[in-house]
A = this chain, B = another copy of it.
């Protein structure tokens, strides 16, 4: 499935649609997807039924878009870093910062994604998982480039998944205060990653 074909990029979303998605993500995160009716989303966002359905097709479409848009943000930021021409260490630090920034701005979306992914129909669930794979593959290519350049030790797929798990789990516990704190947490994670992978 080409997820990009059915999920617009953040930049292409109208302000109204983006606002509806943010309101819905918060409601779904607070109350659970199953307990929130589409009219409740409309009320909270200040849209009547007609206007709401102009922006979204269905509640399941809304759920799917909430789960995919932040992943597409992560992938786009990571692709730019991958091809930035920076050193391996700088790319890992930049990936770490970009993850933390997007994660911190997308905590309701991530909560919804991790809690409700089973509520999606199979094709869409696979679509969400394929975005996660795509993101992981970018990190993997940076690690492999580090190995080729004899900067990093060779890493197994288990090790790469473990490191990325450290990042993804953070949405559950990080309660930072402001951009400087988020940047410093990104530094800490990059430091752990580099210490565990840089050749001695």
- Measured CB to CB, the residues of A under 8 A from B are 32, 34-35, 114-115, 118-119, 156, 158-159, 161-163, 165-166, 168-170, 172-173, 185, 188-189, 191-193, 195-197, 200
Contacts of A166 in B (CB 8 A): 162-163, 165-166, 169
State the Cβ distance, A23 to closest chain B Cβ, in Å: 18
Question: So how many copies of this chain end up in the complex?
Answer: 2
Q: Closest 5 CB pairs between A and B?
A: A165-B169, A166-B166, A169-B169, A196-B196, A195-B196
The answer to whether B162 and A189 touch across the interface, beta carbons within 8 angstroms, is yes
Q: Are A172 and B165 in contact (CB-based, < 8 A)?
A: yes
A169 CB contacts on chain B under 8 angstroms: 165-166, 168-169
Q: In the complex, A14 Cα to B185 Cα: how many Å? A: 45
Tell me which of B32, B158, B161, B200 contacts A34 (CB under 8 A): B32
